[in-house]
Amino acid sequence: MEFGAILVDKTDTGQSVGLKTLKDSDLMEGDVLVRVTHSTVNYKDGLAITGKSPVVRRFPMIPGIDFAGIVEQSSHPDWQPDDAVILNGWGVGETHFGGFSGYARVKGDWLVGLPKSLTLSQSMAIGTAGYTAMLAVMALEKRGLTPAQGPAVVTGAAGGVGSVAIALLAKLGWRVIASTGRLEESEYLRDLGASEIIDRKELSEKGRPLGKERWIAGVDSVGSHTLANLLAMTKYGGAIAACGLAQGMDLPASVAPFILRGVSLLGIDSVMAPKKRRVEAWGRLASDLDLTKLATITKTIGLDEVIEAGKSILDGKIRGRLVVSMV
């Protein structure tokens, strides 16, 4: 069989990217063959497509760190033909052919069943961004934090992780403070459930070791000075769940929030998270996320639009979620 796929390859001057026609014999090894129906464009996908960060570690590569689809062939005991499945992470789109393709052959252990209350399209409207946001919320809850203790802050608020985090936290009863560099998106953020909008400039510059206590919890996809300032302004006993590095990988902070206020920094890894946690996260997304709000923040594009979308997401021109439809 033949199908379309985005292919990134190495060149003498960097890398090339284009829409190619492949055959199933071109796919990598795995015990499950999935007909991909939907994928998404995440920030990491933008880095892979443009080569602005060494996300791709094997060439040639089909990018796309997540996908949803229907099992066509399986030698794995958990999966049968016609099963609806989701994949997030596990190096897909980095070291193993990913989701920007009509078909994917992967390890069955990497797959999670589609919750019955979600469609394949909705699962990718959530995507890795929403799944990561849910992992962050779960980590804050495990820490024992509740809305009664104070507000929660969300950075990168208009992006994929931020948008879903706001919707989740608001539905769970939190008062949400949304930090964004796109204040023109204030109405959009309030519609998701944000109670207060702040300019990211308040957080993105070098700050003091300790600042005024403003929130008890937070979800950060930015890193660098922004994360340092979030920690410095977290209330006693609070925590920030960190899951991104849009501003940078550095953390120019001090130990003051940790040893004087008992603040915790919770690391969120969506790529290698164990299956039990993944299943729990997808179950929570199916029950806790307002699907009506999800629809309002989602745009659907075709495979032929992925390359431009990858560039746009790095330029901060994409809000909410992008679903890539293969059907």
The pLDDT tens digits for 258-303 are 999 999 999 999 999 999 999 999 999 999 999 999 999 899 999 9
Q: Assess if residue 164 is contained within a domain.
A: yes
* pLDDT value at 84 more than 90: yes
H-run or E-run covering 165? helix 160-171
The domain that contains 167 carries what CATH number?
Answer: 3.40.50.720
User: How many domains are there within the chain?
Assistant: 2
137 and 250 in a common domain: yes
240 and 164 in a common domain: yes
Tokens of 47: 């880095």
Task: Using DSSP, state whether 283 is helix, strand or coil.
Answer: helix
* pLDDT value at 54 more than 90: no
Question: What confidence score (pLDDT) does residue 88 get?
Answer: 96
pLDDT digits (tens, 9 = 90+) for 198-224: 999 999 999 999 999 999 999 999 999
Domain span holding position 133:
128-267
- Give the DSSP letter of residue 316: T
Residue with tokens 């608001």: 170
Distance from C-alpha of 27 to C-alpha of 207, rounded to nearest angstrom: 49
The domain that contains 27 carries what CATH number?
Answer: 3.90.180.10
210 and 186 in a common domain: yes
Q: Assess if residue 105 is contained within a domain.
A: yes
Contact at 8 Å (CB) between 8 and 59? yes
Nearest to 313 by CA among 324, 302, 321: 321
Distance from C-alpha of 221 to C-alpha of 155, rounded to nearest angstrom: 6
Distance from C-alpha of 79 to C-alpha of 285, rounded to nearest angstrom: 22
H-run or E-run covering 192? helix 186-192
227 and 102 in a common domain: no
Q: Assess if residue 290 is contained within a domain.
A: no
194 and 74 in a common domain: no
Q: Which residues pair with 17 in a beta bridge?
A: 8
